[in-house]
Structure 1
Amino acid sequence: MPQYQQLASWRLEGGGQVIDLETAVKDGILGGGGDAGGALPTGKDGILGAAAEKLDLKQMIEELDSAAGDDVPSVFICPISLEPMVDPVTLCTGQTYERLHILKWFSLGRLTCPTTMQELWDDAVTPNRTLQQLIQAWFSQRYLRLKKRSKDVQGRAAELVQRLKKVKGQARVQVLKDLQKIVVAHPSVKTTVADSAGIAHLSSLLGPFTSHAVGSEVIAILVNLSLDSDAMASLMQPAKISLVVDMLNEGTIDTKINCARFIEMLMADKGFRYEVVSSLSLLVALLRLIKDWRQPSGIAAGISLLKAICSYEQVRSLIVSVGAVPQLVEQLPNLRPDCLEPALHILGDLSTVAEGRLALKDCPKTIPYVVKLLMKGSCTHCALSILWSVCKLAPDECVPVAVEAGLAAQLLLVIQSDCTPEVKQQAAELLKLFCSLNSTNSLFISKCKLTRTIQ
């Protein structure tokens, strides 16, 4: 009976057989086959050098998990865990498994081969050294190749940053495009760009005389980098923000999205001041971005930034003045779930200022649309805040509209749901307001009694 898995069973395309490690590397079963750029590091034996032997197999498997993908030879995979083996052992049936998993199989009282389900006449396991060497060699080759590629990419990024200091015009745009592609494709390059003073140089390219072609590429790079406070402060200069706002108004959809993301990124800095976003031009550009139903990604980016801007009370009246309230209300039924909650959050924030409340009241769709969102999970709190602000402002005018929209029934559902006590209390207060304006209506009287019992 064989005591280990015979590698002679590995068939090559030409009909030959792999008989040892050297042949496996030579004939390409490990991916070596004549590719000088991917050759394994060799030692005195000409097979696998000390450099590869020092590499930890488990660590390489983890780091190459996404890179290797389905390319891993099936013979390297443990039939139990379906993961590459680190310590392969062979049973008396000739089947090979990861030692840890086959021993666990035995510990459960199973004296069978998991693959063939044959009963074992011998529960001894034999280390499969040849297969382990092949696994080590295969992963070492790809690991070292990946590291070499990474090093080459970082060198390329540093070279492009240096070239930016020398080129102008269309050549500068092309260098920026190349750098942006590398930064997006290889996250490790971000540190290289920062260490080579790339962020400072990119920042210096933004200014009153920067073309939109250059500016859009610079912003596309910056939104993918980690910026420190000094870099943020430099990028908040009025001339730079003015350029970004211009591109948000006139750029391509990708440029507009990147500009919105860039401004929101700046807002995360503790040194950010609300005056930076107190711009009619910026707010108008955002509303245009949000209104373009053909670009869902643009809507999401615009709403996200507008929500961040709304966190500053000083800017809310300005946002109302550019028509944000009726536009957002009209779009509520068609917004994606990931945009719906932040849109309601914006309207809730705007309802805290007098101009916002009046705009919500004057919009005929506010109450019908918002009532429908009362039981949509995380939307409930914001929807209640909006309805309370509107109905409190003009109860005689708004409450009948709310009743017609079915708000009373929705409020009862909220009160009986598993919402937080604060939300239930808010719903109860709004229901009491309804009851006070409909004191002769028996249905509303019963609702008043119910409201009292839950308080």
Structure 2
Amino acid sequence: MAMPWRRRSRKPKAKPAADLPPSTVPEIAISPHFRCPISLELMKDPVTASTGITYDRQSIETWLELGHATCPVTKQELRSDVLLPNVALTRMIQSWCEAHSALGVERIPTPKVPLSVAQAEEILSGLADAGCRRDAGRCGELARRVRALARESERSRRCLETSGAGRALAATFSAFSAEYFEFPELLEGVLAAMAAVGAAAVDAEAASFLAAPESLNVLVEMLRHGSLAARFNAAVAVKSLLAASSRATSELVSATEGMVEALAKLVREPISQQAMKAALAAIYYMVSEDERAAEMAVEQGIVPALVELLAEPERAMCEKALAVLDGLLCCERGREAACGHALAVPALVKRMFRVSEAATELAVSALWKLCGDCRRCSREALQVGAFQKLLLLLQIGCGEKTKERATELLKSLSGHCSGKQHIDCVDTVDFKGVIKHV
């Protein structure tokens, strides 16, 4: 016989704290001893200053980097900038986090002891010695360690940078460049370490190692046939080299067979946004110093790629594309290539506003170079509203050089207006209306 069905009463399940209404979520009380006196947040890496007060490492280091030499709490002068890890307090905070894990509190990781200047110098000295001894295995090991430390924390990266990591790595790269096909992994690892430490680590001495003929040939080989990571790191190395070099060195780099071609290809056929930015910066340094480099870049078909990049919503990418294009327009071939592109003038006019002050200056400079002696470009500029935008730019203000070029450009465009078009350009401009169309 079938038993009648009964509804069993069940107690409602307790909702987790994250699902409770805000008014019912229990407030977690954090001991004042666990809070940083500067940020008032739970400390993740407690360290004790010379005055005996404990702070979170990031907060007190930021305080010291701003130039302060006193303790934020006691106002006493700090006798030393050495910060000692407070291991006991760290463990207490970790225990407290574990006790409140049910309320969503995550356990803070055990802080790593930051790299000291002495340790950094010891590693870099060992790298230099291994390079002199032609010990490729030891060089590769130390290069990997430098890369790992640079990625571990910003403090360690800065420590390596100020300790001369750029010079040591560049010297190692130069020492083994003549044997690239025998030690490809070593040289790629060295470049990866340089990229991790940062471009600022490449000073004039480091640049002299990278500018050696063998080093430049290896960089071109990596840009052409290396892995994606190797191509990116090589582009960063070339950019860092050019940023720290003189005009003579820049001309030497651009004259290296295949260099401009390889960098231009990274712009036309990008492997990543970061690699393209590095290539654009490198090309900019070359074309701003050497007209021959600008002509070579134009021959590689870079102008259409730059015009397309002007449509990029990211400000940094747009600025870099404008800077390179403005540099290429200094040579006749660059102006011819831009004049022959249907979107060059409209894109430049559009980028006169709504990007940045630097982009505005570059766009005006590029238009000034394009429309100076070209009736076709001048007519296109008039058709897409360049006259009104230039008037507005002078009205709201800009730099002296940009103001001078905008004024010359207005005179040039005015000379290409005729009849009713001239009257419309000058007499009927309503700045309120122009603002709506900018």
- Normalised by the length of structure 1, the TM-score is 0.62
The offset of 1:244, in angstroms, is: 0.7
> Of the candidates 208, 211, 220, which is equivalent to residue 233 of structure 1?
208
**1:435 aligns to what?**
414
The residue identity in structure 2 corresponding to 1:346 is: V
CA distance in 2, matches of 1:340, 1:145: 39
Cα 1:150–1:67 change in 2 (3 A) is farther
Q: For residue 124 of structure 1, what is the aligned residue in structure 2?
A: none
| 1:445 lines up with 2:390 in the alignment | no
Which residue matches 1:92?
none
2:166 and 2:287 map into 1 onto residues whose CA distance is: 35
Instruction: Tell me the SS of whatever aligns to 2:55.
Output: helix
Q: Which amino acid in the other structure matches residue 58 of structure 2?
A: D
Deviation, 1:330, is 2.2
Tell me what 1:203 maps to.
Answer: 174
In the alignment, does 2:368 pair up with 1:388?
A: yes
- How big is the alpha-carbon RMSD for the aligned residues of Structure 1 and Structure 2? 4.2
TM-score (norm 2): 0.64
8 Å contact from structure 2 (residues 298, 333) kept in 1: yes
Residues 269-302 of structure 1 show CA distances to partners (whole Å, capped at 9, x for unaligned) of 3472412222462122212222345611112111
Question: For the structure 1 residues 252 and 178, does the alpha-carbon distance in structure 2 shift closer, same or farther, using more than 3 Å as the test?
Answer: same
- Once residues 166 and 422 of structure 1 are traced to their aligned partners in structure 2, the CA distance between those partners, rounded to angstroms, is 53
Cα distance in structure 2, aligned partners of 1:306 and 1:255: 18
Deviation at 1:310, TM superposition (A): 1.7
Amino acid at match of 2:55: I
CA contact (8 A) 1:307 1:343 kept: no
Are 1:243 and 2:210 counterparts? no
> Which protein has the larger Cα radius of gyration, Structure 1 or Structure 2?
1
From 405, 410, 415, the counterpart of 2:384: 405
Q: 2:58 aligns with which of 52, 65, 68?
A: 65
Does the CA-based 8 Å contact 2:210-2:216 persist in structure 1? yes
Q: What residue in structure 1 maps to residue 282 of structure 2? A: 305
Matches within 5 A, 1:186-335: 186-187=156-157, 188-190=159-161, 200-210=171-181, 211-223=183-195, 224=197, 226-267=201-242, 268-270=244-246, 272-279=249-256, 281-292=258-269, 295-314=272-291, 315-334=293-312
Percent sequence identity over aligned pairs:
21
What corresponds to 1:370 in structure 2? 348
CA offset digits 1:400-440 (Å, max 9, x no partner) = 32232222332232232222344334333323333323331
Instruction: Name the CA distance, whole Å, in 1 between partners of 2:262 and 2:167.
Output: 34
Q: Is the 8 A contact 1:235 1:241 kept in 2?
A: yes
- Provide the C-alpha distance between the structure 2 equivalents of 1:195 and 1:306, rounded to a whole number of angstroms: 22
Cα 1:166–1:293 change in 2 (3 A) is closer
Q: Structure 2, unaligned stretches of length 5 or more?
A: 1-42, 63-70, 76-85, 94-110, 430-438
Q: Is the 8 A contact 2:267 2:280 kept in 1?
A: yes
Contact 2:322 2:363 in 1 (8 A): yes
For the 8 Å contact 1:199–1:231, the answer to whether it is kept is yes
> How far did residue 445 of structure 1 move?
2.8
User: What code does the residue aligned with 2:187 have?
Assistant: G
1:9-59 CA-to-partner distances (Å, cap 9, x unmatched) read xxxxxxxxxxxxxxxxxxxxx99xxxxxxxxxxxxxxxxxxxx9x94335x
Q: Which residue in the other structure is 2:16 paired with?
A: none
Q: Do 1:158 and 1:192's aligned partners in 2 also have CA atoms closer than 8 Å?
A: no
Is the 8 Å Cα contact of residues 311 and 349 (structure 1) preserved in structure 2? yes
Letter in 2 for 1:382: L
What displacement does 1:199 show?
5.4
Q: For residue 211 of structure 2, what is the amino acid of its counterpart?
A: M
How many residues align structurally? 337
Change (3 A) 1:388 1:61: same
- Stretches of structure 1 lacking an aligned partner (at least 5 in a row): 1-29, 32-51, 70-85, 88-97, 101-134
**1:175 offset after TM fit, Å?**
5.1
Pick the aligned partner of 1:146 from 84, 107, 113: 113
Structure 1 counterpart of 2:149: 182
> How big is each residue's C-alpha offset from its partner over 1:300-338, in whole Å with a ceiling of 9 and x where there is no partner?
111111111121133222222211212211221126210
Q: Once the two structures are superposed, what CA deviation does each residue of 1:319-361 show, in whole Å capped at 9, x if it has no partner?
A: 2221121221122112621021121121112112111111111
Matched to 2:52, the amino acid is L
Amino acid paired to 1:176: A
Amino acid of the structure 1 residue aligned with 2:241: L
Q: What CA distance in whole angstroms lies between the structure 2 residues aligned with 1:299 and 1:195?
A: 22
Are the structure 2 counterparts of residues 313 and 145 from structure 1 closer, same or farther at C-alpha, using a change threshold of 3 Å? closer
Q: Counterparts of 1:264 and 1:189 in 2: how far apart (Å)?
A: 20
The aligned counterpart of 1:349 is 327
Equivalent in the alignment of 2:396: 417
In structure 2, how many angstroms separate the alpha carbons of the residues matched to 1:179 and 1:138?
30
CA contact (8 A) 2:309 2:317 kept: no
Kindly indicate whether the alpha-carbon contact (under 8 Å) linking 1:253 and 1:298 is maintained by their aligned counterparts in 2.
Answer: no
Give me the whole-angstrom Cα distance separating, in 2, the residues matched to 1:148 and 1:317: 46
